[in-house]
Structure 1
């Protein structure tokens, strides 16, 4: 059998449109033989509809109805398809209406307040022909506008008398229109919806690893070391304030000796006096530690020269990227957030460009040699 062509027909007669204003509309349209009429929907303006109205625009032939081809069969009705409409309630309880459709238009009253409607069309011989996933209804629509009048120019003073500016279009309140349906306030459904939204936000925060640290450096460092310890492929630590103390505190927390570990720090930090060896700079001490210990051969350190190309702090663990506002040398001391970015590959690509840019970064050994030769001021 050739497939049934489907399309959503917006040219319905005006009385039908008026009847559908506050209810969802299901419509299937097609011609020829076929077995998969697809029901399409128009979203409703009502949050809790009282009825569901459906329409089928074409009378199927006897060849398309099981057991209808026999001469003993009754006359083919205007419409024939068994189906079910499922109401999803605010309490989570569903009500299922099972019907056999035999008219072009049919009305299915809802038994109670309904938040979502799901529709299934089935055939006794062929099984499910179509499934309309649950969809809700718009509870409130707000349209507002504002008037743009004068433009405000802000002058930004700069160095050596130089200035910059930007313009701000000034707006005044214009008009606002709100259309809404009556919604039952309070009660169990409202509390259930509120709790559901809270759970969704908490689940999203957990998925992104959202962590808030304040007043506990040990809690923050333990969390980061646990992340590093779970790595299987790679660990990148990008922190402009990363030096010898942080190196021992985090870079050695990997559980596998052959793990690729990359540190991207800044020359500004490595020029400072080392916290462990007070007579040498941090860069020289860090290089001597790397060269003297074989168990650190898998760790590479690159140094951002001049003004660091990266400001934020990133932690790349395998295929995940974590962002933190505080440097690892002080994380947890002051209030700060740490979160896993939703699209890590973009961040990894950008960091990779900086890491391998010879104009912006150098190997630690090269940087220290240039520093001793007076090339790095």
Structure 2
């Protein structure tokens, strides 16, 4: 990008941002960066604007020299803060938006980070309130935020830095948060602007009348210096109430210069939300509807003694051990405060909670199949019906695959392959089967003397399917571990989802079992992928003469 192009892009941006200078005379620019492979990489940076009643502190650095990244080849991390006027800070932010991020702010010579495209959010000239910013401090008291969102994935060095625990700890110590744990901020920039009018602001219930009414009070403290006091008369508070049955009221209250106001309500309020709007600056603060804390139940327990438990030996590899269990005594509880006298509201909250719990149970991605042992005896039709039901559940899950279909079961055989693995209609899906040696050793065939090992039948069947289906034919591998396969459990991977199945796929519905979709599938997929890589193809277990026969 040429200098002319940068200047053309900065001008309208600066004109929008420099409006902030009248409320924020000083600023602090904070930047964290990585130097790797002779390039600078931005990790995170932000401009912290200080209202007119505060002065920005002096700048500082994280050590005299950049921090050396352990185990790297000359990599280093730096963190610095630079105290400056708001005009210069805004200009640095505008240049960063145009692709020129100077990570050595205030240094004699600039150090420009690798250019990566960013996009503003919200648009220039606007700020977002009620933003969950992990770098915001308590005194900011819900600041407004503008951000520059990175439009590409982090570079390879930045990605590799996130795999080093010491580096993430170093960043958290100096940034105040770990940017690798907040992907939406990593490699981005932000500008943080506290409320320029109110030093503090609060809305709270202050009184209840004998007739059941309630009063909400507003307390606002203006920012002030010896020469200047913020004009509170430019502010209007909009208050909304949401009850269990829906939205019930919206009130607007202009604030006087003393910062106090009150709002009467005919009954105890429920969830109160509010927005503080300035006639000159727009939205300054916002609080989404939340209930008041009326009552606290506190429980206390003391540990008076311990009990020792001895675990016997389970063989050479499982030695005996013992441990102590703390025994709690003197359990007590007490209540602070009391519930609001609002029976209809309490009843609605309870009923809505019951509905949400029912919907949560109904939406749970799990299935139970099989019959209890007491109902299986002498009722073969019931058992067969449950077996069919379990098979239908698996077939329905298998049919949803669009990119990936993997069966993991130490006892998965050729029958299960034909029963489940061939049920997916998508031509882009090649079923993968990770089985175990016990499945190959078992015998198949109903007539004594004419039984063969299942592994031979498996290999013969795969050979025929390969000729028939081509690339869609299942791929079968045998996991390591010989007679004790390294994976004990049963899994079904469908695209990005991982289902955990209690029973083996060869006995679904015969006994009680559950299949559950795991909430964190990535770690399990990685584990299975590693075992698949270390496994041997089924053909490697079959003698050449048997395979050719």
Q: TM-score range by the shorter chain?
A: 0.7 to 0.9
Structure having the larger proportion of residues in helix = 2
Query: 1:336: which partner in 2?
Result: 513
State the 1:208 CA deviation: 4.6
Structure 1: give runs of 5+ residues left out of the alignment.
7-26, 66-75
Distance 1:325 1:33 in 2: 54
Q: Structure 1 327/201 Cα, relative in aligned 2: closer, same or farther at 3 Å?
A: farther
**Residue 143 of structure 1 aligns to a residue in which SS?**
strand
Take 2:445 and 2:436, find their aligned partners in 1: how far apart are those partners?
Answer: 16
Equivalent positions of 1:241-256 (< 5 A) are 241-256=411-426
Name which structure has the greater RCO, CA cutoff 8 Å, separation 6+: 1
Q: Compute the displacement of 1:272 (Å).
A: 0.5
Question: Which position in structure 1 is the counterpart of 2:406?
Answer: 236
How far residue 322 of structure 1 moved from its aligned partner, in angstroms, is 1.2
Partner SS, residue 311 of structure 1: coil
Q: Which residue of 2 aligns with 1:58?
A: 222
Q: Report the alpha carbon displacement of residue 125 of structure 1 after superposing the two structures with TM.
A: 5.3
| Aligned-CA RMSD value | 3.9
1:235 CA displacement: 0.0
Q: Which residue of 2 aligns with 1:16?
A: none
Judged with a 3 Å threshold, the aligned counterparts in structure 2 of structure 1 residues 350 and 88 are, in CA distance, closer, same or farther, namely same
CA distance in 2, matches of 1:161, 1:232: 44
- Please say if 1:368 is aligned against 2:542: yes
The correspondence for 1:192, drawn from 337, 340, 348, is 348
- What's the offset of the Cα at 1:205? 4.5
Aligned to 2:272: 117
Q: Are the equivalent residues in 2 in contact too, given 1:59–1:79 (CA < 8 A)?
A: no
Distance 1:5 1:220, change over 3 A: farther
Work out whether residues 217 and 333 of structure 1, in 8 Å CA contact, stay in contact via their aligned partners in 2: yes
Residue of 224, 228, 251 corresponding to 1:97: 251
Task: Summarize the alignment of residues 197-236 of structure 1 with structure 2, pairs less than 5 Å apart.
Answer: 197-205=353-361, 208-215=364-371, 216-236=386-406
Instruction: Evaluate the alpha carbon distance shift between residue 113 and residue 245 of structure 1 in structure 2; reply closer, same or farther with a 3 A threshold.
Output: farther
Within the candidate set 238, 244, 248, 1:84 is matched to 238
SS in 2 for 1:153: strand
- Between 1:318-327 and 1:105-114, the stretch displaced more is 105-114
Aligned to 1:140: 296
* Structure 2: segments with no counterpart, 5+ residues: 1-19, 25-48, 52-140, 145-192, 206-211, 372-385
Question: Matches of 2:310 and 2:478 in 1, distance apart?
Answer: 38
Q: Is the 8 A contact 1:149 1:171 kept in 2?
A: yes
**Aligned equivalents of 1:318, 1:158: Cα separation in 2:** 40
Contact 1:28 1:39 (8 Å CA) reproduced: no
2: CA distance, partners of 1:38 / 1:236: 58
- Mean Cα deviation higher: 335-344 or 168-177: 168-177
Residue 274 to residue 116, structure 1, CA distance change in 2 (3 Å) = same
Tell me, yes or no, if the aligned pair for 1:225 and 1:253 is still in contact at 8 Å.
yes
Aligned mates of 2:264, 2:300 — CA distance in 1: 35
**Equivalent position of 1:156 in the other structure:** 312
CA distance in 2 between counterparts of 1:328 and 1:311 reads 13
| Shift, 1:236, TM fit | 0.5
Of 311-320 and 161-170, more deviation after overlay is shown by 161-170
Between the two proteins, the alignment pairs up a number of residues equal to 335
TM-score (norm 1): 0.75
**Deviation of 1:91 (Å):** 2.7
Distance 1:33 1:161 in 2: 62
Q: Which has the higher mean CA deviation after the structures are superposed, 151-160 or 225-234?
A: 151-160
| Contact 1:87–1:114 under 8 Å retained in 2 | yes
2:464 aligns to what?
292
CA distance in structure 2 between the aligned counterparts of 1:276 and 1:286, rounded to whole angstroms:
16
Q: Deviation at 1:130?
A: 2.6
Change (3 A) 1:111 1:276: farther
Q: Following superposition, which runs of at least 4 residues in structure 1 exceed 6 angstroms of deviation?
A: 27-30, 38-44, 370-373
Shift of 1:302: 1.2
